[in-house]
Amino acid sequence: MKFRQLFAIPNLLCYLRIALIPYFVVTYLHAQEAIDYLYTALILAVMEITDFLDGFIARRYHMVTEIGKIIDPIADKLLQLTLLVLLIYQYPLAVGVLVLFLIKETSMTICGLVSIRKKCRLDGALWCGKVATTVFYICMVLLILFPSIGQLLADILLLVTAAFLIYSFIVYMKTYYQMLKKEDHD
């Protein structure tokens, strides 16, 4: 791997996102007043913006690297996992969303590994995955920004998140199934 690829701008943004996760966790756990939660939500927003920017810059300026294809989804999943684990303490329904998230990501990882082994793989995220991720982050920002949002609204946000995760999961599994089935027939 070339040094230049390792330190391409999109990859640096991924490293930054990963490095901010512990800082985000500490900030969230020590938040007590509205301004603290606003600051925590701003840190999360910065991490989400780096997620958008790394992909945009990589595609727009032809800076896609093999390391970037690996670390970007890892950074995304680490952040999403962190958010759900943090929210479990305040919102019991987050446990269900966390279990769903783990099932989805484990299944997709297994399918991805099988497809790589069979020399076929998806070229990037499907649109439903991008939409589900966007909805996920919007709901998480709202839950973090407004910790006294109320149980009913929090549950609605978590159920919306779960619905988009389920839809994305179904579409991905169907896509992997069709792709692997086609590869078996070729």
Torsion (CA) 116, 73, 79, 144 in degrees, nearest 10: -120
Binned at pLDDT 50, 70 and 90, residue 1 comes out as: low
Structure tokens at 89: 């303490």
75 and 96 part of one domain: no
Residue 64 or 119, more confident:
64
Task: Indicate whether 62 and 108 sit together in one domain.
Answer: no
The answer on 106 and 180 residing in a single domain is yes
Number of structural domains (the chain) is: 2
Tokens of 104: 């989805």
Phi-psi region of 93 (alpha: psi -120 to 50; beta: other; left: phi over 0): alpha
* Same structural domain, 73 and 109: no
Q: Which residue has the tokens 């305040």?
A: 90
Mean pLDDT of the chain: 92
Domain boundary among 69, 89, 109: 89
- DSSP letter at 91 equals -
**Per-residue pLDDT band at 186 (split at 50, 70, 90):** low
Q: Which residue in the block uniquely carries the two structure tokens 């484990």?
A: 106
Please check the confidence at residue 108 and state whether its pLDDT lies above 80.
yes
Residue 127 reports pLDDT greater than 80: yes
Instruction: Give me the pLDDT at residue 112, please.
Output: 85
Cβ contact 120:180 at 8 Å: yes
Domain extent for 71: 1-89
Together in a domain, 106 and 136: yes
Q: What is the mean predicted confidence (pLDDT) over 148-154?
A: 96
